[in-house]
Amino acid sequence: MKRIIQMMMYVVAISQMHTVEANDDIKQIKQVIQWYFDGTAQGNPELVEKAFLPTLELQFVSSEGKFKRWLDPNSTPNCDTR
């Protein structure tokens, strides 16, 4: 019986650790999204850049229906879809 209780306590402790890690992940995801929203709303490219990895690749379909990709991490993407 003592062994079962120890095992249950171990399982509870592990599950709580995963919950803490998940909460940290969620906080980090929310921060990245906030940088993106704030950067685009304020016209602040530095905040937008913080939201992406340096190996950013944007893919989109233009208004003409053409598939476009932007791969250069050293310049501002030209996402004009006209």
The pTM of this model reads 0.48
User: Do the Cβ atoms of 47 and 39 come closer than 8 Å?
Assistant: yes
Break the chain into its structural domains and give their ranges: 2-51, 52-82
Per-residue pLDDT 10s for the chain (82 aa) are: 667 666 666 666 666 655 667 788 888 999 999 998 999 899 998 888 888 877 777 788 889 999 988 876 565 545 544 4
Q: What is the DSSP string of 46-58?
A: HHHHHTS-TT--E
Structure tokens of 10? 């171990």
Residue 43: φ, ψ to 5°: 65, 35
Closest by Cα among 26, 80, 78, 76 to 52? 76
